[in-house]
Each structure stands twice: as C-alpha cells, then as structure tokens.
Amino acid sequence: MEQDEGIRFDEKNLWARQEGDEFVIGISQYLADQIGDITTIDLPDEGSAILRGDSFGSIEHSNGVVEDLVAPLNGEVLRLNEDLLETPEPVKDDPYGDGWLIAVDAEEGFDINTLMTYEQYEEYVETIEEIDEDLDEFDDEDLDEVFTDDFDDDDDDF
C-alpha cells in the first residue's frame, strides 16, 4: 500500500479517512488479500447508525465464508458505494480508492487519531502474521502431547 497520512486503521482491518465533514470507511489491503475473491457485499442503508465494534455489513468470499465488517467509529451512514453491490471487485483490487464502502457523519467528538497510523498498523499486521506462523508450527501431534501429558497421571481424584 502507498502510505496515505490521512488513512487510519483499526484492529478489525478497516480504515477510515476524513474527507471534509465525513469519514470514508473501507477494508485494508491486508484484509483484501486475506479474503480472496468476493462474491457479495452487504452494506447498511443511508441514515443507518453504526457503532464502533459492531457489524455494519458483510463480505462473502467465493468459498462461502461471510466476513463481518466491523465499524471503526460511531456515526450515521451518509452514503454507500452502491457500485460495489453489483461489482464487488474494487474492494479487493483498490480498497483505498474505488473500493471504499461507506461514508459516515461521525459522532461528535470523534478523533481519528484514536485509530492506528499506517506505521502502527504495519506493526500490528506483522504481529498477526508472526502469531499465524507460530500457530502453523504447532501441529496436531503437539496438541495431542499437551492433552496426553495433562491426563496421564494416575490420580483418580475426579
């Protein structure tokens, strides 16, 4: 991703960018790369309220998995990218441009600086990837050994 000082990220891999009096929201390139082909996008109606941490829509992958879109801020939906409802490809191909999802009138007092900068988000993603690598190395045999060790004692106290 090209660094855009105006874009801020949350831990659910969505971004927000202030454009005038509204905040435009979309998914990060990281999430776009993770989900693969997109078949369907469900977005809220104009005028709908969104709450930080709550789902405001979803993206369905070509394998049938549905990914919730979790709001990075509180506000009211002013407009949505209706083109995506018919042709969702820009969400994956251009998530910071034509793939934006919704524009929101943020709740009074919202400070975009409470979200992660590009650099902070890069570090966050690196941490996620390291954890995923560690989990990949932890195979079923390791799991069997953990549970077997815990229950191999001859103590019949339960």
Summarize pLDDT for 64-105 with one digit per residue, the tens: 899 999 999 999 999 999 999 999 999 999 999 999 999 999
Give pTM, 2 decimals.
Answer: 0.81
24 pLDDT higher than 50: yes
| Residue linked to tokens 């994956």 | 92
- Tell me the domains of the chain and their CATH numbers: 7-116 (2.40.50.100)
Are 37 and 92 a contacting pair, CB within 8 Å?
yes
Average of pLDDT values for 51-57?
97
CA distances (Å), origin 52, targets 12, 74, 86, 145: 10, 5, 26, 41
Residue 40 backbone dihedrals phi, psi, to 5 degrees: -145, 145
Give residue-wise pLDDT tens across range 133-149.
767 666 656 656 655 55
